[in-house]
Amino acid sequence: MPLPIPQVGGSALSYGGAVHGSDQGPEGAAARFTGRAVTGLRPLSGTLVEAILDDGRVVMVKRHDAPGGVGAEAAGLRWLGAAGTVRVPAVHGHDGRWLVTDRVPEGRPDGRTASRFGRDLAALHACGAEAFGAAPPGGPRDASIGLAPLRNVPGTDWPGWYAEHRVLPYLRAAVDDGTLRAGEASVVERVCERLPELAGPPEPPARLHGDLWNGNVLWGADGHAWLIDPAAHGGHRETDLAMLRLFGCPHLDEVLDGYQEAAPLADGWRERVPLHQLFPLLVHAVLFGRSYAEQAVGAARAALAR
């Protein structure tokens, strides 16, 4: 039985019975998109709420503050789910602010689950995309990654597309707000100039999660890894893997072994990790400041040292 919940989102909540009040809050969104009455809410953060339905199920209700974020996330989940590989929570519906999905009952990571996740992730990537930068079907061109804008502009050449649409926009923003110094920016610019030789063998566009840090991998009670909160688009498969390494992932060696078993990576992929980490580090520099800018410059120097 859920604990009594205080007022959330300006709507009156009742304990031990149906929730009433404005349909503009999380309880209204949960009721609209599931067709069930809500008997309680359990806030998990400032933007995420568990809603308990009158049939006993629990769904997640997420508020999006970034422009295009809710539509992009919903389209991304559906696109990833359509691959039938890595598991993703079902989308019940969304509007301009709220997204309602299934809740994933969480378990604990282990080596077997991690190896399966690696194989499933390789299969997801292999499902492909129409182009580098292609948005999921029905997804917006102007999306977001966290609270930062993310523009999905299709391209056919990964090095050129990565420089123009994933590295340079955030580099300029970091310089403009004073987070990154001009001399440091020149190091990143040299990476962009040398991308054709640094990128490794050409690969087709992969179906990426796009924001694959450890917090967006849930280790389910069913023995499978689940993906949440995507910034999905067509990209290079090494980018997802590099982001898993950037912020740590339980049993990462087993994940990578499973991936390599299903779809071996091109020679030199380990040396290219800093190149692929440059994008998320610059995003974090724009959002969170100087320490990430220093890490981005370090990654750029490591990429150039190959």
Among all chains, which residue has been given the structure tokens 């199920």?
Answer: 57
Using CA atoms, how far residue 147 sits from 124, 194, 250, in Å, is 25, 29, 26
Q: What's the helix, strand, coil split of the chain in %, to 5?
A: 40, 20, 40
Q: Structure tokens of 236?
A: 């290079």
Here the tokens at position 145 are 């990654």
Exposed e or buried b per residue across 89-118, where buried means at least 16 C-beta atoms within 10 angstroms of its C-beta: bebbebbeebbbbbebeeeebeeebbbbbb
CB 59 within 8 A of CB 103: yes
Phi–psi pair at 107, nearest 5 degrees: -115, -145
Residue from 164, 179, 177, 166 nearest 208 by CA = 166
Structure tokens at 64: 């999006």
Q: How far apart are CA 226 and CA 105, in angstroms?
A: 10
211 noted as active-site residue: yes
Computed on alpha carbons and rounded to an integer, the radius of gyration of the chain in Å comes to: 20
Whose tokens are 């149906």? That residue is: 18
Q: What is the DSSP letter of 232?
A: -
Angle in degrees, CA 78, 143, 165, rounded to 5: 115
- Catalytic residue selected from 211, 222, 253, 257: 211
Token pair, residue 216, equals: 């967006």
**Half-sphere exposure of residue 240: CA atoms within 13 angstroms, side-chain side:** 29
Residues with a known catalytic role:
211
